Chain A
Amino acid sequence: MSLDAQIAQLRSEIAAATDSAQDEAAIEAVRVAALGKKGSVSALLSTLGVLPADERKAAGAAINGLKTEVTALIEAKAATLAEAALTARLEAERVDVTLPIAAVPTAEGRIHPISQVIDEITAIFSDMGFSIAEGPDIETDWYNFTALNFPEGHPAREMHDTFFMAPSPDGVKRVLRTHTSPVQVRTMLKTNEKPGAPYLTPAMDPPIRVVMPGRTYRHDSDQTHTPMFHQVEGLVIDKSSHIGQLRWVLEEFLKAFFEVDNVTLRFRPSFFPFTEPSMEVDVQCDRSGGEVKIGEGNDWLEILGCGMVHPNVLRNCGLDPDVYQGFAWGMGIDRIAMLKYGMNDLRAFFDADKRWLDHYGFRPLDLPTLFGGLSS
């Protein structure tokens, strides 16, 4: 058989094999059979060596032509088959994307409104240069009442208002704090320096600027009162701060907290044992639509108590009232949370009802900041 006939036969054989290859393995076999070390085309190529020199050139060109031709043929088929295989795999891997994912949004936990509001308060007051101070829930009678200028026989010192601890071996009368005000005393007295009580803020000399959130307790339980609730107080002590700054601080705080451009406050002279002068503050609001809107309307809502720290309290805390002065205020965290976020039942705060927590709670990354906005 002539070389040309051989080439023609090989060409047709390989073309037929290529054509009939059904998958990537088959085409690879065709490639090896033709172009492998021992393949038919390679074998033909190896015959060149025995040809006379004058024929070799033309024969070489013809055989290499065949090689180029079948290589292209096989590669094209291989590419087609690879693509088909991929398509088939992808089709096989098809899933039902409508299936619900495990991490549906409600499966993410929620932050309790009290924690969230404390973080909001913290964000606002940190911008004003305040620190957070805290103290123990179990307080001595002295820190909770005496130091704060409550006279003996004051109604708050009676069993029907205050939780008393059972007698202790040291004979000291203790109560569950009825307000966060003992933290003011601890801050001024620097009893928060005590080692082993790291929940208290570091000791402070005047100027003092602290806010004090925490749990408080009163012997009261009905529709609108729970025996445990939360308060936040603020304290500014220096040599010059007066009611003018107090009004500014409270107005700025309430504007920032309720995220409104304006609040109108009404200061009423009032009475507390631990401040003099004392005031209660009402905020103007609109209650017409069933929900309370701060910053508009014609109603007044009592929101906090405040005043200049009483000279006796300063004295009890080792500060000379003729040198140092300052103001303090206090409000209910639960209450302002209810006002801002529209909860209507205080008791639900402490019930841990999953439905309530999921509804009124906050996403873990809703971190209140002033730069990112208090609430999203």
Chain B
Amino acid sequence: MKFTLDWLKEHLETNATADEIGVALTAIGLEVEEIVDPAEKLRPFVVAQIVEASDHPNSDHLHICKVDAGTGSLIDVVCGAPNARTGLKSVFAFPDTYIPGKDFTLKAGVVIRGAPSNGMLCSAAELELSNDHDGIIELPADAPIGASYVDYARLGGSVIDISITPNRGDATGVYGVARDLAAYGVGTLKPTDMSKVPSQGPSPIAALPHQFAEGEPKAIRKFAGRVFRGIKNGPSPEWLQQRLKAVGLRPINTVVDITNLVSLGWGRPLHAYDADKIVGQPVLRNAKPGESFDALDNKIYALDASMTVIADDLGPLCLGGVMGGIRSGCTDDTTNVLMECASWDPDLIAQTGRKTGIVSDARYRLERSVDPALTEPGLELATRLVLELCGGEALEPVISGEDVFPNTVVEFPLGEVRRLTGLDPAPDEIVAILTRLGFVVEGTGEVRQVKVPSWRPDVTMKADLAEEVMRMVGVDNVPKEPLVRLAHVAPRMLTVLQNRRRISRRTLAARGLDEAVTWSFISAPEAERFGGGKPELKLANPIASELTDMRPSLLPGLLAAAERNANRGFSDLKIFEVGQVFLSIAPDGQHTYASGLRFGTARHWQQGAGKVSVFDAKADIAALLDAMGHDIDKLQLVAEPASWSHPGRGGRIQLGPKLIIGWFGEVHPSLAAQYNLTGPVAAFELDLDAIPEPRKKTTRTKPLLKLADLMPVSRDFAFLVDRAVPAANLLKAAKNADKGLISDVSVFDVFEGKGVPEGKKSLGLAVTLQPTDKTLTDEEIEKISASVIAAVTKATGGVLRA
């Protein structure tokens, strides 16, 4: 909300500067957005008199003027204005002055058609005061020569812009701001005369009937109206226009300007109807569904039955508490006026405002709630202004309905201030602060009864009162106190899962992958492709058509990121995300996945131009599992690919038959093609939630380390097996051939091609034997070798290569 310093001082007796007031406003919760003085740029302009004007000898429209600008000598100025004449007082700019309306700086020593010109006489347009550029500004004869024009015309003045929180309806008028400042100690509040003005005749309309059925929403509480007869409307006086213009409002005519003055000045919105345009007796009712309304903003609104209107025989005149209608608007020719000052239900006004999207000064105030004690006094205030500025007769007010006064009384233990804020003001100080704010404090002792003033419906409980006291003492005056440590060493701060996420991120980054953060929502086709797309996991109001579904997987986001990077010319990408996926709407349906992908190859002399493959993904997921204390070789690895995977190049990792914890593989080429990615994309997903938490152990002791004294022995075997036989089967069979002595089996070679029959592959296994109590003899080694061969043949049909 904007207001000028002058306007504030009309309600507040103070010598404080704009900056001091700004600091105070922010401290009491009326945050200052900015303080500007729009007249600051007009400071250099002075009042001057044309002592002598004569025609320019070389021009048919220019004048040569001798100007007295109070400098003690006359200044030669060439001026083209038709009204430049001897004796005229106007506004003068010295050389080097910036002319805002022209956006240039005056030069010194200018010669115009042979005549010197040292300055400029200015029009209102050149000063950006109006659009009037027909001639230079004409000032009254008593304007003091040499005086600052800003001071003379009282243009100066800081405009203060504050933002009002939704609870502070009391501060939506300059008067309310002044009241808060006065309570804080910045000056004294000047009261406004709102006493009754005698009526000069009976009202031509009856009190507006409230036509609402039982149970219908009813936004109107009390309607106070008054008809004025025989007024003279037209442009409002200069001071009023300037006041409104200073805060960004356009002056319309006197009656409308009065409603704006009262709305901004006292936070009490009014509405003025041209009484001659009202057909029949106006009533208060809800709009009929679909009823249309031509509002003052020149837009047509379709209303619904939750919106209260003031209507006459022809339909809505005004959307109650939100905006007036064009049909009954006041114009310069209006002579008879119905002035409305009504009290409304804030929630329903807010609702109507949101439904229609109308942003108006009335709605802004009424939805924050307006002091119910101001309904009739507000009308009296408006009456005074109308009679003063427009003349005419004020007829008998018409009043219907009742204001709602909460009349809240809070049982307030004074110690609440100390309990909640840490401040410890004396009881007298607390009482004094509350009293200054308009609260009535009764009773003695610790618990007082505090009556809340009508303009503060937001105060309902003791915490609110503690806040009021703190607000007035200043939050920055609350002494800081260390938060004392609890009486034990800090407990573990991260859960197992939180730690897993942290470890996953650092592990994957260390393996060369960049961490991405992508949207939690993806497109419906992507969600369906990755196993999601449940109706309840869709957004009712997505922000974009491609961001409609909660993601069932992190891979769509990463694939899209790969596509974006490729489009920028970076087709070598290794990225991961550790984030939430949504398997159901339940809290436990939200899992954390660690997923990543590798795409493209940076060609390098050391590595050759190898393409990424399923084994890169397997290595990434193995590294993740290792970081979390799991050995991938000890988990169940099933050669069944994920739905997104190449059918022959993907697998999943399980802990037992049902508990799937991860997938790895190459992305299906047709899926990759949807993201315009050609060439293999290696990807993995690990469900960090699915990995069981380690059992709580009573001790952190690790199993005793047993180191063999004897040298291990290694023997190599090459088996021919069917191509489809998984290597894991051979490894398992070999390992189980002698569990006591065989400590490790590894694959040292995989070969298909020359020398290996079609449909077969050759697998080289290195078997390590670890003797425990004595060195193995050649015979013993031969015996174990034979059993390895037999076990592998039995399990896989593989035969030892000759």
Contact with B along A121-155 (1 / 0, CB 8 A): 01001111111101111100000000000010101
- In the assembled complex, the CB of B469 is this many whole angstroms from the nearest CB of chain A, namely 9
Contact with A along B566-589 (1 / 0, CB 8 A): 001010011110111010010110
Contact B476 A242 (CB under 8 A): no
- In the assembled complex, the CB of A173 is this many whole angstroms from the nearest CB of chain B, namely 10
Given contacts A276-B464, A353-B568, contact A159 B422 (CB under 8 A): no
Q: How far is the CA of A367 from the CA of B499 in the complex (A)?
A: 13
Given contacts A101-B606, A198-B693, A270-B165, contact A137 B510 (CB under 8 A): no
A280 located at the interface, meaning its Cβ lies under 8 Å from any Cβ of chain B in the complex: yes
Q: How far is the CA of A155 from the CA of B166 in the complex (A)?
A: 10
Given contacts A165-B539, A248-B482, contact A276 B463 (CB under 8 A): yes
Contact B476 A266 (CB under 8 A): yes
Q: Spot the interface stretch: A31-39, A290-298, A356-364.
A: A356-364
Given contacts A101-B606, A136-B587, A248-B481, contact A271 B517 (CB under 8 A): no
Given contacts A109-B515, A112-B517, A196-B588, contact A268 B350 (CB under 8 A): no
- In the assembled complex, the CB of A143 is this many whole angstroms from the nearest CB of chain B, namely 10
Given contacts A276-B467, A364-B509, contact A165 B482 (CB under 8 A): no
- In the assembled complex, the CB of A353 is this many whole angstroms from the nearest CB of chain B, namely 7
B506 located at the interface, meaning its Cβ lies under 8 Å from any Cβ of chain A in the complex: yes
A18 located at the interface, meaning its Cβ lies under 8 Å from any Cβ of chain B in the complex: no
Contact with A along B537-575 (1 / 0, CB 8 A): 111111110010010000001100100110010100111
Contact A119 B502 (CB under 8 A): yes
- In the assembled complex, the CB of B533 is this many whole angstroms from the nearest CB of chain A, namely 11
Q: Nearest chain-B residue to A143 (Cβ)? A: B587
Given contacts A108-B509, A248-B482, contact A268 B31 (CB under 8 A): yes
Q: Nearest chain-A residue to B590 (Cβ)? A: A136
Contact for B536 among A165, A270, A311, CB less than 8 A: A165
Contact B471 A269 (CB under 8 A): yes
Q: Spot the interface stretch: A45-53, A60-68, A213-221.
A: A213-221
Given contacts A102-B606, A102-B607, A164-B541, contact A138 B514 (CB under 8 A): no
- In the assembled complex, the CB of B573 is this many whole angstroms from the nearest CB of chain A, namely 6
For B486, what are the chain A residues with a Cβ–Cβ distance below 8 Å? 129, 207, 209
B370 located at the interface, meaning its Cβ lies under 8 Å from any Cβ of chain A in the complex: no
B519 located at the interface, meaning its Cβ lies under 8 Å from any Cβ of chain A in the complex: yes
Interface size bucket, B side? 35 or more
Q: Spot the interface stretch: B281-289, B488-496, B708-716.
A: B488-496
Contact A245 B420 (CB under 8 A): no
Contact for B510 among A109, A130, A247, CB less than 8 A: A109
Contact A163 B539 (CB under 8 A): yes
- In the assembled complex, the CB of B447 is this many whole angstroms from the nearest CB of chain A, namely 13
- In the assembled complex, the CB of A161 is this many whole angstroms from the nearest CB of chain B, namely 10
For B789, what are the chain A residues with a Cβ–Cβ distance below 8 Å? none
Contact for A352 among B26, B475, B575, CB less than 8 A: B575
For A241, what are the chain B residues with a Cβ–Cβ distance below 8 Å? 483
Contact B689 A198 (CB under 8 A): yes
B480 located at the interface, meaning its Cβ lies under 8 Å from any Cβ of chain A in the complex: yes
Contact B422 A137 (CB under 8 A): no
A335 located at the interface, meaning its Cβ lies under 8 Å from any Cβ of chain B in the complex: no
Contact with A along B19-50 (1 / 0, CB 8 A): 00000001111010000000000000000000
Q: How far is the CA of A367 from the CA of B326 in the complex (A)?
A: 65
Given contacts A115-B515, A277-B466, contact A365 B506 (CB under 8 A): yes
Contact A269 B475 (CB under 8 A): yes
For B535, what are the chain A residues with a Cβ–Cβ distance below 8 Å? 166-167
Contact B590 A367 (CB under 8 A): no
Contact with B along A88-116 (1 / 0, CB 8 A): 00000000000111100001111110110
B696 located at the interface, meaning its Cβ lies under 8 Å from any Cβ of chain A in the complex: no
Q: How far is the CA of A236 from the CA of B557 in the complex (A)?
A: 36
Q: Nearest chain-B residue to A327 (Cβ)? A: B420
Contact for A166 among B27, B480, B536, CB less than 8 A: B536
Given contacts A131-B491, A166-B536, A325-B420, contact A111 B506 (CB under 8 A): yes
Contact for B517 among A114, A164, A266, A270, CB less than 8 A: A114
B604 located at the interface, meaning its Cβ lies under 8 Å from any Cβ of chain A in the complex: yes
For B537, what are the chain A residues with a Cβ–Cβ distance below 8 Å? 165-166
Contact A349 B482 (CB under 8 A): no
Contact A132 B564 (CB under 8 A): no
Given contacts A109-B510, A110-B509, A137-B520, contact A271 B166 (CB under 8 A): yes
- In the assembled complex, the CB of A122 is this many whole angstroms from the nearest CB of chain B, namely 7
Contact A357 B516 (CB under 8 A): yes
Beta-carbon contacts under 8 Å, B575-618 to A: 575-576, 578-580, 582, 585, 587-588, 590, 592, 602, 604-607
For A16, what are the chain B residues with a Cβ–Cβ distance below 8 Å? none
Q: How far is the CA of A169 from the CA of B506 in the complex (A)?
A: 40
Contact B478 A247 (CB under 8 A): yes
Contact B478 A352 (CB under 8 A): no
Beta-carbon contacts under 8 Å, A197-213 to B: 197-202, 207, 209
Contact B29 A268 (CB under 8 A): yes
- In the assembled complex, the CB of B595 is this many whole angstroms from the nearest CB of chain A, namely 13
- In the assembled complex, the CB of B783 is this many whole angstroms from the nearest CB of chain A, namely 41
Contact A245 B467 (CB under 8 A): no
For A107, what are the chain B residues with a Cβ–Cβ distance below 8 Å? 512, 602
- In the assembled complex, the CB of A142 is this many whole angstroms from the nearest CB of chain B, namely 13
Q: How far is the CA of A285 from the CA of B470 in the complex (A)?
A: 25
B354 located at the interface, meaning its Cβ lies under 8 Å from any Cβ of chain A in the complex: yes
For A151, what are the chain B residues with a Cβ–Cβ distance below 8 Å? 347
Contact B422 A243 (CB under 8 A): yes
Q: Nearest chain-A residue to B606 (Cβ)? A: A102
Contact with A along B416-439 (1 / 0, CB 8 A): 001111110000000000000000
For A131, what are the chain B residues with a Cβ–Cβ distance below 8 Å? 491-494
For B463, what are the chain A residues with a Cβ–Cβ distance below 8 Å? 276-277, 308, 310-311
- In the assembled complex, the CB of B288 is this many whole angstroms from the nearest CB of chain A, namely 23
List 9 tightest A-B contacts by C-beta distance, closest first. A244-B422, A269-B29, A277-B467, A352-B561, A271-B165, A267-B475, A109-B509, A352-B516, A364-B509
Q: A242-B419, A271-B165 are in contact. List 13 more A-B contacts (CB 8 A).
A: A107-B602, A108-B512, A109-B509, A130-B490, A130-B493, A242-B418, A243-B420, A248-B481, A267-B478, A277-B421, A352-B575, A353-B564, A367-B506
**Residues on B close to A: CB < 8 A?**
26-29, 31, 165-168, 347, 350-351, 354, 418-423, 461, 463-464, 466-467, 470-471, 475-476, 478-483, 485-486, 490-498, 502, 505-521, 535-544, 547, 550, 557-558, 561, 564-565, 568, 570, 573-576, 578-580, 582, 585, 587-588, 590, 592, 602, 604-607, 689, 693
Pairs across A and B, CB under 8 Å, 27 listed: A99-B605, A99-B606, A109-B514, A127-B490, A132-B495, A158-B354, A163-B540, A163-B541, A165-B536, A166-B539, A168-B585, A198-B497, A199-B689, A201-B495, A217-B520, A236-B483, A266-B476, A267-B478, A269-B470, A277-B470, A352-B565, A353-B565, A353-B568, A354-B573, A355-B570, A364-B506, A364-B509
